Structure 1
Amino acid sequence: MQIPISNAAAIGKVVRASRKAQGIRQDDAAGSMGVSENFLGKVERGADSVHWGKLFQVLEGLGIRLIVDVPEQVARHLPHASPDESTP
């Protein structure tokens, strides 16, 4: 299912819903992803300022793939994606 993301709060809702759907407590999820419970709480609340690297740890830990839909004219200016950046 594709969900439009227009702000941090939208990502936070997806993260929280994913964690709850998997039946994982916030503290357990944070520990298994290598982030603090405080950080995970900020993500779930949609804090405007979070560390990008840690955010991607959280997304990966919950099995969330982030895909950016860009216009073709923009895509033509992007370097070719490396194998681990491409979509299956």
Structure 2
Amino acid sequence: MDLVVVVYLFIKIFAFARICPAGYNQAHSSMRSQGFSMEIDIRSASDIGIAVRAARKAQRLRQDDAAGSIGVSESFLGKLEKGAQSVQWGKLFQVLDGLGVRVIVDVPDEAGELFAGEEVKRYARVGRAEKRRRAREDADES
């Protein structure tokens, strides 16, 4: 079964007002005050690029300004928006976070149960590593 990645774009209120039909804004003012989200089915790198570009433009940010405030190069952001097939995962998530884009992976129930188990193991590993780090720091201070 294919995994479907769902991207929620949290678009600023002014963007919500620009894309909704006349009269819709008054009827849905509570939605507008909380922001607007939209699910987009992502099946390729170019789909992610389109979502990133839409999120940036909805915030009325120029590419160079967005890249600078997020902490990536304008070149990287441009490549990402064009759907580059190979990008650094860390920088990708940095851009998504910087633009308010949340990524959710929709997996079959069986995979979700396995994922939950792996998350518990990961948090335990992180906890043990943090405990070791604190012990080393305490030993260095002594």
Give the TM-score of the pair, scaled to structure 2: 0.56
1:80 offset after TM fit, Å? 3.7
Tell me the percent identity: 62
Name the structure 2 match of 1:74.
Answer: 111
Are 1:36 and 2:73 counterparts? yes
- Using the alignment, how far apart are the partners of 2:75 and 2:100 within structure 1? 20
Larger Rg: 2
Name the structure 2 match of 1:2.
Answer: 39
1:76 offset after TM fit, Å? 1.2
> Counting strand residues as a fraction of each chain, which structure ranks higher?
2
Name the structure 2 match of 1:51.
Answer: 88
- Partner SS for 1:17: helix
- Using the alignment, how far apart are the partners of 1:25 and 1:9 within structure 2? 19
Aligned length: 82
- Using the alignment, how far apart are the partners of 1:35 and 1:59 within structure 2? 11
1:24 offset after TM fit, Å? 0.3
> Counting helix residues as a fraction of each chain, which structure ranks higher?
2
Of the candidates 11, 16, 26, which is equivalent to residue 48 of structure 2?
11
Which segments of 5 or more consecutive residues in structure 1 lack a partner in the other structure? Answer: 83-88
- Using the alignment, how far apart are the partners of 1:80 and 1:45 within structure 2? 33
Of the candidates 36, 44, 64, which is equivalent to residue 101 of structure 2?
64
2:75 aligned partner, one-letter code: N
Which segments of 5 or more consecutive residues in structure 2 lack a partner in the other structure? Answer: 1-37, 124-142
Name the structure 1 match of 2:64.
Answer: 27
- Using the alignment, how far apart are the partners of 1:62 and 1:80 within structure 2? 26
- Using the alignment, how far apart are the partners of 1:61 and 1:9 within structure 2? 19
